[in-house]
Structure 1
Amino acid sequence: MTVWDTLVGQRPMIEALRPAAAGHGMTHAWLFTGPPGSGRSNAAIAFSAALLCERQGCGECHECHTVVAGSHADVRLVRTEKLSIGVDEVRDLVRRAALAPSGRRWQVMIVEDADRLTDQACNALLKAIEEPTPRTVWMLCAPTTEDLLPTIRSRCRLVTLSTPTAPEVAEFLVRTEGVSAALAAYAARASQGHIGRARALARDEATRNRRREIVSMPVRLTGLGSCMTAAQNLHDVAKEEAEAITSDLDAQEKADLDSAYGVVERGRRPRDYSPALSHLQKGQKTRAKRRVLDVVDRGLMDLVSVYRDAIALAVGAPGELVNEEIRGDIEKLAGSSSPELNLRRIEAVFEAREQMLEFNVPAMLALESMMAALQLPEGSRR
């Protein structure tokens, strides 16, 4: 299996990149854009492997294996667990980019969340892209071109990814995860083309249960009390999932810090240990906040899928429902509300999303306001 085979539903993009990997039309800066879950960073990693591989991404050689595993000396991937990527991280990357690659081909710098660069970080990156080092390639990943400064995106070649179809995702899950066709089809529909989400749903029963809890909420919003309860439940589900993701990592980082400062062996704390611990805990707190917001955001997209299904059912749109397994609830929602009302509910969800992600409104406050806006009409509360 070549490195390109790991990219789901991206045939046009692959056909555009392969000639560059072979040396035709190569440039020093690339911008990968596409909706969440479309595989922007995976595409950048596959392209990196193809650039370093003698056979343009065979998937079998040492170069391909180490690039995909994240251990290749000439490929640096920057991703953040924080809310933004700071100037210090970018300056470190720029310093490394100024060095010659250790191999005979390229040195690749991948910035996974380029839309999270601070203004200072963008300025530091812009200088490096304006004055490129020979044999250094920059690959930036962002949802849209508008998420980057015009001066940066104008110096990059654009690569646009699309959302893969449910059948393409299902086939990928059966092939790579070994799950049943029925489970793969459910995960593909429920993820709405988000590859990482589809994998989690296919692998983990707890993840599936959390999603079922969220998509069952709309028909239970029969009063202000139930709306407040639903907001609390959604926030609690997000915190639970985020803590499950970060708790082991937090403990490992703390153990590594203790070991580095000799706290375990000597039984006492050196003078420099407290500032280092404080810095670590601050970073972990920021990461935990980001994780909660990410999980809440995913839950909001699951809610949107329910109202989208209700609209599709009401207007007789062709195609399968995203939430086919709760068709009864969807029919109830469609029967008790007009498509216009469900569109306004979708707007309320996106407004809450914007308040949390863009304006830093406390998650519980935004969720309570949103749930109140999603409340069922008086006549349907039976």
Structure 2
Amino acid sequence: MSVFDDLVGQERVVSVLRDAAAAGAQALAGGRGMGMTHAWLFTGPPGSGRSMAARAFAAALLCPDGGCGHCASCHQVDAGSHPDVESVRPEGLSYSVKQTRELVLRASGAPTQGRWRIVLFEDADRATEQAANALLKAIEEPPPRTVWLLCSPSPDDMVITIRSRCRVVTLAAPSSAAVAEVLVRRDGIDPATAAFAARAAQGHIGRARRLALDEEARARRDAVLSLPRSLTGPATCIAAAERLVKAAEAEAAAATGELDEKETAELRQIYGDGSSGKGLGKGLVRGGAGAMKELEDRQKSRATRIKRDSLDLALLDLMAFYRDVLAVQLGAPVELANEDRRGDLDALARESTPEQTLRRIDAISECRERLTANVNPQLAVEAMALALGARRP
């Protein structure tokens, strides 16, 4: 058993991280903390296991046996409760300079258990320019026992000044067979369901697990993949776009509603809402108006991010569907992500040309770019749907 066991299809990366953890332990034993690489950048496509690899590496650095997977330290890192590991992920659209400076200050402290103090920064590419500058200063001159583990889809997503100061670890998307094997071994999923989920998730381990275990996730995917055959005219295209956007909004509301209420109630309690006595109650609530506004802004940003992520996942499913159509049209001997919808794939392949399919894939890519550029989601998705429904030769 090891903390690296669930890194599917990443043998080369595991070897690099094991060696680095061993070198770090030797540096500490020799009193040479600065002999350790203090900034790492984990990159790879969505679902490749960037964050999982970074967390496993953190456990290996802190474990007396290099990541045994069964000691108290390994269990604490896995549970997110280790006192020397700070795991950070932007809740909203970006990570602000204020949050980064606070993080840098916390990271500058000495480790409490005598080894390393580790900051695991997921979605580091979402840091604003000012936040990236604050992060750069911390990486340039880190305390001797602080290790930064940054995660980003691509090295190019990070500013070059940060990228050049990090050791880059690149993960590849695992094969469907490797993902299916993990689902069967780790989660007890039957082989047929595991194979379907692994193909549909295109190597994304977390998504494959959700598709295998969550009926609602499968239903959302089916709703998205039913769209191509329904786009028979402008009216149906507009209606399909509206359904996609509303589904994303509903998912964001479901994911944030209860959490928003809890956070708001806790903040109101801190500022004395509901208290009685002279000087309490409304006076303290008014005093916390600024904090309440800041919380509301964070909550709104978080909901927007979840909505965008949900829409982007739907667009990726659509893109995979049309890639499969193109593969059928060209007779390419490749595994189809949507083999379970072979009837729809064959029908669209007969009704259209490879050129049309390529234009539709381009329309989906353009929609994703527009959403990243803060274009109104409804307008961006409507334009895409109309392009998908176009019947021009």
Distance 1:220 1:352 in 2: 19
Q: Which amino acid aligns with 1:257?
A: L
Residues 264 and 179 of structure 1: CA distance in aligned 2, closer, same or farther (over 3 Å) = farther
Is it true that 1:362 corresponds to 2:372 in the alignment?
Answer: no
Q: In the alignment, is residue 176 of structure 1 matched against residue 186 of structure 2?
A: yes
Question: Which runs of 5 or more residues in structure 1 are unaligned?
Answer: none
The Cα of 1:265 is off from its aligned counterpart by 5.0
What is the aligned partner in structure 1 of residue 96 from structure 2?
A: 86
Give the letter for the 2:21 counterpart.
Answer: A
Q: What per-residue deviation string (whole Å, max 9, x for no partner) do you get for residues 37-59 of structure 1?
A: 11111111100000000011111
Find 1:235's aligned residue among 245, 248, 251. 245
Q: Deviations over 1:250-277 (max 9, x none)?
A: 1221232233234245494423233332
Task: Pick from 124, 127, 131 the counterpart of residue 117 of structure 1.
Answer: 127
Structure 1 residue 160 corresponds to structure 2 residue 170: yes
1:178-203: per-residue Cα shift (whole Å, max 9, x none)? Answer: 22222211111111111221122122
- Structure 2 counterpart of 1:4, which letter? F
For 2:141, which of 108, 117, 131 is the aligned residue? 131
SS of corresponding position for 1:44: helix
Structure 2 match to 1:377: 391
**TM superposition score normalised by structure 1:** 0.95
Cα deviation, residue 376, structure 1: 4.7
Secondary structure in structure 2 of the residue aligned to 1:263: coil
Q: Which segment drifts farther, 339-348 or 299-308? A: 339-348
- Corresponding residue SS for 1:187: helix
Counterpart in the other structure of 1:319: 334
Structure 2 CA distance for partners of 1:43 and 1:67, relative to 1, 3 Å: same
Q: Does residue 1:346 correspond to 2:346, yes or no?
A: no
**Amino acid corresponding to residue 4 of structure 2 in structure 1:** W
The amino acid of 1:377's aligned partner reads R
Which residue among 283, 295, 298 is the counterpart of 2:313? 298
Partner of 2:62: 52
Measure, in 2, the Cα distance between the counterparts of 1:354 and 1:277: 33
Counterpart in the other structure of 1:330: 345
Does 84-93 or 300-309 show the bigger shift? Answer: 84-93
Where does residue 37 of structure 1 map in the other structure? 47
Where structure 2 has 5 or more consecutive residues not aligned to the other structure, the ranges are 25-34
Most deviating of 198-207 and 170-179: 170-179
CA distance in 2, matches of 1:194, 1:353: 19
Cα displacement (A) at 1:288? 0.6
Give the structure 1 partner of residue 196 of structure 2: 186
Q: Which residue of 2 aligns with 1:277?
A: 292
Preserved CA contact (<8 Å) 1:32 1:159: yes
Contact 1:33 1:40 survives alignment (8 Å): yes
Specify the code of the residue in structure 1 equivalent to 2:114.
R
Secondary structure at the counterpart of residue 23 of structure 1: helix
Q: 2:260: which partner in 1?
A: 250
TM-score (norm. length: structure 2): 0.93
Name the structure 1 match of 2:27: none
Q: State the alpha-carbon separation in 1 of the partners of residues 12 and 252 from structure 2.
A: 35
Q: Distance in 2 between matches of 1:299 and 1:250?
A: 25
User: Does structure 2 retain, via aligned residues, the 8 Å contact 1:348–1:373?
Assistant: yes
Deviation at 1:345, TM superposition (A): 0.7
Quote the residue 1:16 is aligned against: 16
Aligned pairs, how many? 378
With 266-275 and 192-201 compared, the bigger mean Cα shift is at 266-275
**C-alpha distance in structure 2 between counterparts of 1:28 and 1:150, whole Å:** 17
**Alignment-derived partner of residue 82 in structure 2:** 72
Provide, for residues 67-94 of structure 1, a one-character-per-residue CA deviation record: whole Å limited to 9, x for no partner: 1111111111110111111111111121
Deviation sequence 1:8-42 (CA, Å, 0-9, x none)? 22111101110111116841111100011111111
Matches of 1:304 and 1:117, distance apart in 2:
27
Query: 1:75-119 CA distances to partner (integer Å, 9 max, x unpaired)?
Result: 111101111111111111211222211122111111111111111
1:365 partner letter: L
User: Percent identity of the aligned residues?
Assistant: 53
Amino acid corresponding to residue 11 of structure 2 in structure 1: R
Q: More displaced, 226-235 or 263-272?
A: 263-272
Partner of 2:325: 310
Which region of structure 1 is more displaced relative to structure 2, 167-176 or 364-373?
167-176
Regions of 4+ moved over 6 Å? none
Tell me the distance in 2 between the aligned counterparts of 1:94 and 1:246: 28
Residue-by-residue CA offset, 1:331-371 (whole Å, 9 max, x unaligned): 011111111211111111010100011x2100000000000
Structure 1 residue 166: Cα displacement: 0.8
CA RMSD of superposed structures (Å): 1.6
